[in-house]
A and B are shown apart, each in its own frame.
Chain A
Amino acid sequence: MRSRCHFSDKLDKLNEIKVSFLGKKGELTSILKSMKDVAPEDRPKVGQMVNDARSKIEEHLEEKKKAFEQALREEKMKAETIDVTLPGQRIPEGHRHPNTKTLEEVENIFIGMGYEVVEGPEIERDYYNFEALNIPADHPAKDEQDTFYITQDILLRTQTSSVQVHEMEKGRLPIRMIAPGRVFRSDEVDATHSPTFHQIEGLVVDKNITFSDLKGTLQEFAKRLFGEDTKVKFRPHHFQFTEPSAEMDVTCFKCGGKGCRFCKGEGWVEILGCGMVHPHVLEMSGIDPEEYTGFAFGVGLERIALFKYEIDDMRLLYENDTRFLKQF
């Protein structure tokens, strides 16, 4: 009996064997059928023997069956082997513009510090772009900005600082906001200039806001955007709508401050202008500078994007060549 099993290697053969022993006409069945010929006193004993044999056979067959099935599956899988180095099937993927990606990073940093993201008009009144920012008519600072005019009074905003004024006029204090958006200046297109670009304005107005808060906030921003090791440096500067005013440099993120071609050997890169909101600016927007103080800053979005992604020509940002866009 055992030897017959060895010769069978197919499942159906196994089934045949099963039938030949255990089927209606099988050998064990016929033994059971011939029980009547066995002496009554022996019957339990023989019955026991037959049942033992049956379960042994069944067990053995089952074992065999499992082994055969296993072998069969393995054989099948072997035949199904694929070349996993063939390319994957992908649906075409879209990409955010590098400006937008950078902006989202900046937004997330400030949202985490409780800032609201707000917007203002791109076509703006002179008052909001200049006068309310302490740049009165005929002020030389107005000329420096190469403004595009629509009418005498309506212009393309040259700075997102105009949004500061709209926010302050709402009279809801405290203010913690950033205002990203397009700005316009009459600069010819070249590798570092564009007549349309983006800024992100920041404004905080509250009681007891200090210059040290400005420094701390912008250091936090720089570290989160460019890495924990980034150092910041504040240099005095002049803006009409802040006093004291500063420019902030960060350690060059390419060389870490050692000096390289990228930072022209200086180790530092100028990144933004900032300062304490000029008390006259607060006054003009109906905020009492004796009670409230604030700070403001303005960052060039393209400037950061170009640095961050090491893009060497600003024109690439507005050409929309997909070979450029798909890298982000």
Chain B
Amino acid sequence: MNSSISWTKAYVPDLDCTAQEYMDAMTLSGTKVEGYTELDKNLDKIIVGKINKIEKHPDADKLVICQVQVDEAGTEVQIVTGAANVKEGDKVPVVLDGGHVASSHKDGESENGFKIKKGKLRGVDSFGMMCSIDELGSNTDMYPDAAEDGIYILSDNPEYADAPIGSDAVELLGLHDVVFEYEVTSNRVDCFGQIGIAREVAATFRKDLVLQEVKETGNNEDVNDYVSVEVQAPELCSRYVARVVKNIKLAPSPEWMQRRLASVGIRPINNIVDITNYVMEEYAQPMHAYDLDKLADHKIVVRKAHKDEPFMTLDGQERVLDDTMLVICDGEKPVGVAGIMGGENSKITDDVTTMLFEAATFDGTNIRKSGKKLGMRTDAQAKFEKGLDPNNAIDAMNRACQLIEELGAGEVVGGAVDVYPVKKEPITITYNVEKINALLGTDIDEDTMVAYFEKLDLTVDREKKEVLVPTWRQDLERLADLAEEVARFFGYDNIPMTLPSGSATAGGLSEKMQHENMARDIVEAYGFMEGMTFSFESPKVYDKLLLPADDVLRKSIAIMNPLGEDYSVMRTSAIGGMLISLATNYNRRNQNVRLYELANVYLPKSLPLTELPEEQMQLTLGMYGEGDFFTMKGVVESLMQRMGLKKAAKYDPQAGKSFLHPGRQAKVIYEGCEVAYLGEVHPEVLDNFSIGQKAYIAVVNMKQLSELASFDVKYVGIPKFPAMTRDISLTMKKEVLAGDIEDTIRTKGGKLIESVTLFDIYEGAQLTQGYKSMAYKIVFRAPDRTLKDEEVNKAMDKIIRALEEKEIVLRS
């Protein structure tokens, strides 16, 4: 939404402030100004001049020497120009020596404009420049009477012909103006119109709002003799107003109207189109004009379109409608898509004599959906989408007809066809000064509040403590809404700053979050850096991870309207994201990379989704460079240890992960629960992700870990009695797992065992092929006595016998 200060001043004549003051004050009262443009920013010393004499340049065929009169007294300056469209007697904009223009013929537009100095052109003195509209910072779209390629001949326009010589040409052309750009919030439909903005301006600056009086219009004929209207879908069209204008005389609209339209970026076309646009701007009520002679039976029918009904809109595009869309029809066929665009078949052309003016109120949601389906977004549609006030339609219509008469654009037929079955009535809201103050934390008196309300054209009944809310303010429904109005004009800045009183609360992180932060601390101590990846990914990741067709990880939740395939399913694991991150680092030659991510994966309970899925927090670790499987395992062990999972965990090599090396993966079982898995990334998966060296990952189920976590610590006395240590060296088949050996030692050794430590592994020449040797240090201790050799020997015998049963024998 844009407005110009000159247009706003038409409604708020006493407004007097700088552009910056305007921007700040309006923003603070709730009409956010995004920025502004001063149209005369780079225009200086530009006057209306008259070309008295034109001579040929002695040395250049394409240049002429003009004697230009620059004041009423008759002073002339000599200006050399290459423009071909000037003739003696023309009045033109002239920038004098030392003046400024916005753009140059040669260099185009510039941020700071161009300074014009006297100089010589091919040896002849020139003391200024005659200007084209582009040099004045605008263009022929906005000034259709200006020459396309040449000097702007002001005297060709009857409205400028009498401009005094030497007067300010920038003033004449309405360029001493400032254009503001707003961000209007969706609840303030009224502020999509100039009057709505002006009302906010008047309230903000405490000035009077002066609206033009809309007069009775029309001849003594009856519009009902010209047209009939039938609304078949009243649920989508709450009001339809039609009036007829005959004896149309198409012409350019007056300069004041052209200038106002141009100031907000609307291109002037002709009086009828300009009036339609002008009223839409003024009232935020879109209007449409049909050529009445092209409407079969001189009839309007508002109905839903038929399925697959074809229709050509006035931009010449063939559209296919469906049965949810609203169309405006004549006696036979559609002539417009309601609220979006009229039809090619009924549009106003130069030979129009009689037209039908439409001002209607359509259902915003329906218009929005239809526009989306058709891939269209017109200015009218953008306004209808917000949900317009039906009471505004008749005002806009009458204003348009008034302008038709004032501009002599045609003869308005008496009366209006107004189909408005359910009238929208204004509502009343009870105001309560104490409650408003209690909500805001202020102490504002009733008089002040009432003054704010009245400034916004709310009618106040102080007796009943009620305000009557005009229907254009559909955002005002209850006390809180009134409180906001009070706050806006009291000034958000003036409301004090306090801290909440009331009952104290403990606050803090949940246990889950505390555990997550602990996990962060632990893995960071091992050099892992926290990464973040998206929650959705491509289903192709499953193939890259070599997941079998029935793998549970493939059962992911699909997004109905994704941003393309790469982001189309909710991830069931963060491994894809992790491997992509590792690959990014590998590709950028970063060495020794260790990353982790703590994030949810989304596990559906059934597909398609009927209930919310499980969001499972997982800690995913990934690394390449220094370290191997056992480095990763150390991190997992440390994590479990620090989270209080102090018993021995089982590392089961049958982890069944397709994306991990089949001989280098394990799932981690603690008290029967799978807490985590880890392994070396499968070489084929590495290839799929373009990672050129071994990588390792681990995935920890944080929920499981959290449930098992225990931070109860009970002090155990520091041993008072000496330990006894035995070293044993064992040989066994290669396949035997160290975990099993340790298990056996611990179970058979019983309570006396303090620790079991593997200190050597040997595979090689001195052993039978397929065998390995492992050496353990076993420490025995009793808390209450010094152990005797016999006790330890007995325990060792038990251990060795048990090992032998498993074909694990003492190395000889």
Contact = CB atoms under 8 A, between A and B. Distances in A.
Interface in B580-638: 581, 584-585, 588, 590, 592-596, 599-600, 602, 608-609, 612-613, 615
B507 A149 contact: no
Interface string A170-191: 0000101000001010101000
Contacts of A154: 609, 612
A185 to B, nearest CB: 10
B506 interface: yes
A150 to B, nearest CB: 5
B207 interface: no
Contacts of B527: 91-94
B782 interface: no
A123 B441 contact: no
Nearest to A154: B609
Nearest to A217: B499
B557 A94 contact: no
A208 B502 contact: yes
Given A117-B509, A176-B505, A237-B185, A321 B480 contact: no
Contacts of A278: 480
Contacts of A124: 612
A94 B524 contact: yes
Contacts of A95: 524, 529-530
Given A123-B615, A237-B185, A99 B32 contact: no
Given A186-B561, A276-B480, A320-B581, A213 B529 contact: no
A235 B23 CA distance: 12
A188 B599 CA distance: 22
B584 A123 contact: no
Interface in A140-183: 140-141, 143-144, 148-151, 154, 156, 174, 176, 182
A97 B530 contact: yes
Interface stretch (A8-16, A47-55, A60-68, A241-249): A241-249
Contact of B27 (A149, A219, A235, A320): A235
B603 to A, nearest CB: 11
A99 B377 CA distance: 37
Interface stretch (A33-41, A73-81, A107-115): A107-115
Contact of A119 (B492, B510, B612): B510
Given A244-B483, A320-B533, A216 B590 contact: no
B439 A150 contact: no
Given A92-B594, A212-B495, A237-B32, A174 B530 contact: no
Interface stretch (B9-17, B447-455, B562-570): B562-570
A149 B560 contact: yes
Nearest to B578: A320
A2 interface: no
B188 to A, nearest CB: 7
B615 A94 contact: no
Contacts of B517: 104
B487 interface: yes
Max chain A Cβ within 10 angstroms of own Cβ: one of B488, B495, B529: B529
Interface in B200-257: none
B493 A233 contact: yes
Nearest to A147: B561
Nearest to B488: A236
Nearest to A219: B497
Given A150-B557, A236-B487, A210 B441 contact: yes
A150 B497 contact: no
Given A211-B440, A220-B499, A317-B532, A123 B602 contact: yes
A6 interface: no
Max chain B Cβ within 10 angstroms of own Cβ: one of A124, A195, A210, A245: A210
Given A212-B495, A213-B441, A114 B588 contact: no
Interface string B351-383: 000000000000011001000000000000000
Nearest to B525: A94
Contact of B493 (A112, A216, A217, A234): A234
Nearest to A237: B185
B710 interface: no
B186 A114 contact: no
B508 A148 contact: no
A193 B236 CA distance: 36
B348 to A, nearest CB: 31
Contacts of A156: 535, 559, 570
Given A116-B508, A216-B499, A322-B593, A236 B484 contact: yes
Interface string B473-516: 00100111101100110001101111111111111111011000
Given A150-B609, A238-B186, A118 B531 contact: no
B197 interface: no
Contacts of B387: 140
B795 interface: no
Contacts of A195: 534, 536, 563, 567
Interface residues of B, number: 92
B498 A279 contact: no
A318 interface: yes
Nearest to B595: A320
A195 to B, nearest CB: 6
Given A149-B559, A174-B502, A211 B487 contact: yes
B282 interface: no
A118 B520 contact: no
A138 B365 contact: yes
B757 interface: no
Interface string A310-323: 00000001111111
A199 interface: no
A235 B441 contact: no
Contacts of B503: 174, 206
B529 A235 contact: no
A215 interface: yes
Contact of A114 (B505, B557, B608, B613): B505
A244 B490 CA distance: 13
A213 B500 CA distance: 5
A212 B442 contact: yes
A25 interface: no
Nearest to A156: B559
Interface string A287-328: 000000100000000000000000000000111111101100
A200 interface: no
Contacts of A111: 507-509
A138 B502 CA distance: 39
A211 B535 contact: no
Max chain B Cβ within 10 angstroms of own Cβ: one of A111, A207, A217, A234: A234
Contacts of A140: 186, 364-365, 368, 385-387
A245 B30 CA distance: 10
B187 interface: yes
B185 A238 contact: yes
B29 interface: yes
Contacts of B368: 140, 143
Contacts of A243: 480-481, 483-484
A100 B520 contact: yes
B46 to A, nearest CB: 28
A235 B535 contact: no
Contact of B439 (A119, A121, A210, A326): A210
Q: Give the 6 A-B residue pairs with the shortest CB-CB distance, closest first.
A: A94-B524, A212-B441, A92-B527, A210-B441, A236-B30, A320-B531
18 contacts: A92-B594, A94-B530, A119-B513, A121-B615, A150-B570, A196-B536, A210-B440, A211-B440, A213-B498, A236-B30, A237-B30, A244-B484, A317-B532, A318-B533, A318-B534, A321-B588, A323-B588, A323-B590
Interface of B: 27-30, 32, 185-188, 364-365, 368, 385-387, 438-442, 475, 478-481, 483-484, 487-488, 492-493, 495-510, 512-513, 517, 520, 523-536, 557-563, 567, 570, 581, 584-585, 588, 590, 592-596, 599-600, 602, 608-609, 612-613, 615
Given A122-B615, A211-B495, 10 more contacts: A111-B509, A113-B499, A117-B513, A122-B600, A150-B558, A174-B505, A196-B536, A236-B492, A293-B439, A322-B529
